[in-house]
């Protein structure tokens, strides 16, 4: 039954429109439908998505948010700085026949949003920028902002940074007074990126990524 459900979610997500002109400065890559379905299924059986209010920070074209709706989230809010990506997300919303009571999108810099911008949020589910030379440590900034907004955060990161997050959590404890539990939920998943930018030499690039869970204790 779980396999059938995964296939249905993957099928629904495959039909969504993706970036037409991705911005390398924002590290824009579409989350593969299969990967999105698998991580959302894991989150659903672990913490439950049904009936929850979910934030997707750096939502791009909205694939994770639409997956949450498919899993019966009560409300989903996607936030992204790129208005062209949000235009595609809105097209996707119209194509699948959803309204603003279920999912809506906010055009803003994730780093600038505040908890007061939302009436309530149960969890954040996101695939943030990985933090390359163009945006050093932006992945850490996304996680910090997410933990300001919700008690539970699920986030996708390069597997190569896995052991670094424990050190960062210790820094948060000293600087912010946060006691954060960090878990690697899905390790070493292959994230396939099609050839999108001029510097890509292959038709497909593969990056190993982890689904991490951050939780206030």
Q: 104: domain CATH number?
A: 3.40.50.150
Q: Which residues of 40-62 are buried (b: 16+ CB within 10 A; e: fewer)?
A: bbebbeeeebeebbbbbbbbbbb
Cα(178)–Cα(174) distance, rounded to whole angstroms? 8
Q: Give the contacts of 1 (CB within 8 A, at least 6 positions apart).
A: none
Q: Give the contacts of 3 (CB within 8 A, at least 6 positions apart).
A: none
Determine contact, residues 216/178, Cβ cutoff 8 Å.
yes
Domain count of the fold of the chain: 1
What per-residue confidence (pLDDT) applies to 29?
77
Cα(121)–Cα(140) distance, rounded to whole angstroms? 20
- Nearest Cα neighbor of 73 from 154, 185, 19, 17 is 154
Phi, psi for residue 50 in degrees, rounded to 5:
-55, 130
Work out the angle between the directed axes of helices 164-176 and 138-149 (0-180°, nearest 10). 50
- Tens of pLDDT along the chain (217 residues) come to 566 577 888 888 998 988 777 666 666 677 889 899 999 999 999 999 999 999 999 999 999 999 999 999 999 999 999 999 999 999 999 998 887 789 999 999 999 999 888 878 999 999 998 876 567 789 999 999 999 999 999 999 999 999 999 999 999 999 999 999 999 999 998 877 655 545 545 556 788 999 999 999 9
- Nearest Cα neighbor of 123 from 184, 47, 70 is 47
Domain extent, residue 33, equals 2-216
Cα(211)–Cα(184) distance, rounded to whole angstroms? 6
């Amino acid at each position: 039954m779980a396999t059938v459900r995964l296939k249905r979610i993957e099928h629904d997500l495959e039909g969504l429109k993706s970036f037409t002109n991705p911005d390398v400065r924002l590290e824009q890559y579409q989350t593969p439908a299969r990967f999105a379905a698998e991580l959302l299924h894991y989150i659903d059986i672990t913490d439950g998505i049904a009936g929850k209010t979910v934030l997707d920070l750096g939502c791009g074209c909205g694939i994770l948010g639409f997956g949450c709706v498919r899993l019966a989230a009560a409300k989903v809010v996607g936030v992204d700085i790129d208005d062209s990506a949000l235009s595609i997300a809105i097209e996707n919303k119209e194509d699948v026949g959803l309204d603003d009571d279920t999912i809506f999108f906010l055009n803003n810099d994730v780093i600038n949003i505040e908890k007061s911008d939302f009436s309530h949020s149960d969890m954040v589910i996101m695939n943030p920028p990985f933090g390359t030379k163009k945006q050093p440590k932006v992945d850490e900034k996304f996680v910090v902002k997410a933990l300001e907004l919700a008690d539970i955060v699920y986030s996708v990161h390069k597997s190569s940074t896995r052991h670094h997050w424990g050190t960062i959590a210790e820094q948060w404890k000293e600087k912010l007074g946060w006691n954060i539990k960090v878990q690697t939920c899905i390790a070493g998943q292959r994230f396939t990126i099609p050839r999108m930018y001029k510097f890509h030499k292959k038709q497909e690039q593969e990056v190993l990524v982890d689904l991490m869970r951050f939780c206030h204790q």
